Structure 1
Amino acid sequence: MDFSTENVDTDIAVVRGDGRLNMVSAPQLRETVLAALDAGRRRIVVDLSNTSFMDSSGLGALIGCLKSARQADGDLRIAAPNEQLRMVLKLSNVDRVLRSYDSADEAYRD
Structure 2
Amino acid sequence: MLSADVRQQDGVVIVAVTGEVDSHNARLMRAALASALGDSTPRVIADLSAVTFMDSSGLGVLVGKLKDTRMRGGALHLVVTEPRVLQVFAVTGLDAVFHIHDALDSALAAIGVESPQV
TM-score w.r.t. length of structure 2: 0.85
Q: What is the count of residue pairs matched by the alignment?
A: 109
1:7 corresponds to: 8
RMSD: 1.3
| Residue 79 in structure 1 maps to residue 79 in structure 2 | yes
Aligned 8 A contact 1:15 1:32 in 2: yes
* Kept after mapping to 1: 8 A contact 2:41/2:72: no
- The answer on whether the counterparts of 1:78 and 1:99 sit within 8 Å (CA) in structure 2 is yes
Displaced runs of 4+ in structure 1, greater than 2 A?
none
Residue 71 of structure 1: how far off its partner (Å): 1.5
Partners of 2:79 and 2:27 in 1: CA distance: 19
Q: What is the CA distance between 1:108 and its match in structure 2?
A: 2.1
**What are the ranges of 5 or more consecutive residues in structure 2 without an aligned counterpart?**
111-118
Q: Any stretches of 5+ residues in structure 1 without a counterpart? A: none
CA contact (8 A) 2:5 2:15 kept: yes
83-92 vs 34-43, greater mean Cα deviation: 34-43
Matches within 5 A, 1:1-110: 1-10=2-11, 12-38=12-38, 40=40, 42-110=42-110
* Whole-angstrom CA distance in 2 between matches of 1:52 and 1:60: 17
Identity of aligned residues (%): 29
